[in-house]
Amino acid sequence: FPEMLTNPRLIPVQGTLNVVMNQNVTLCCHSDSGSPPVRYTLFKRNQKVSTLNRPDLTPGLFNLTINSASDMGEYKCKAENNISSGGKYSNSLNFTLIEPISKPVLSSPTSQAKKAQNVTLSCLSENGSLPITYIFFKGRQSISPPVKMQKREAAVIFLFINSSSDFGTYKCRAENSFRNNTKYSNSFNFTLAEERSHSQPLIISLVLILLLFVIGFALAIPFFIIPSYKASE
């Protein structure tokens, strides 16, 4: 007996909806049961893209090329046979355009630090698809768990400068869902801030007092010499 089609399933053959610009993709539309022949129609934002006729229940394969952001809309497919009324529609799919990340920038509010001081490091990639995962390193050793940022904001870690070994070279690494696109940042080094001796303020004060004394004495000399000179006349 003639059998109505089941709702078709629309799936990406490549297994993922993450795509890059100018990528070729294939969408598979398939009804599991129903009487053939079957006509599959692919829609993008309710606009017909293409139609395929199948004499049996083999899937309809639609080949697309992602050329621009306009190709990222919602896709659906419709399956029809000779007894279906209006056809059956599939689930909807939306591609996600992924972009490679740019080289991250590692920075800190201060480049100088003292021992027993808290400091921060920030890592940010200005470009690239979100989310972006950051990891911080000192030398080749990671010093943080992966930090996943869902917004275009810097990942920040807090460090405690405890010894001279903490003044080593720091870097960060950034990656997203774009394949084989891990980027490392610039190197960053904290320098040891010079600590002033406690005796310096005292020495400066003594020098200022001595200087004021010399200036005061120099200004007072005329008051002593001129009266003495007049008295000798």
Domain enclosing residue 166, as ranges: 105-192
* DSSP-derived secondary structure letter, 201: H
Any domain includes 205: no
Q: Based on the domain organization, do 119 and 44 belong to the same domain?
A: no
Q: Based on the domain organization, do 110 and 93 belong to the same domain?
A: no
Number of structural domains (the chain) is: 2
Name the 3-class secondary structure at 213.
helix
Q: Based on the domain organization, do 130 and 70 belong to the same domain?
A: no
In a structure prediction context, what are the per-residue pLDDT tens digits for the chain, which is 233 residues long?
Answer: 788 999 999 999 999 898 988 999 999 999 999 999 999 999 999 899 999 999 999 999 999 999 888 888 899 999 999 887 789 999 999 998 888 999 999 999 998 888 889 999 999 999 999 999 999 999 999 999 999 999 999 999 999 988 888 888 999 999 998 878 899 999 999 988 765 544 456 667 777 777 777 777 677 777 666 555 555 55
Contact 204, 45 (CB under 8 A): no
Any domain includes 216: no
Q: Based on the domain organization, do 65 and 86 belong to the same domain?
A: yes
Q: Based on the domain organization, do 117 and 168 belong to the same domain?
A: yes
Q: Based on the domain organization, do 85 and 127 belong to the same domain?
A: no
Q: Of 80, 97, 114, which one is at a domain's C-terminal end?
A: 97
- Strand stretches in 125-226, DSSP E: 132-138, 141-142, 147-149, 155-161, 169-175, 183-184, 188-189, 191-192
Where residue 44 sits, what CATH number does that domain have?
2.60.40.10
Q: Based on the domain organization, do 62 and 126 belong to the same domain?
A: no
State how far Cα 74 lies from the chain centre: 26
pTM of the complete model: 0.60
Any domain includes 213: no
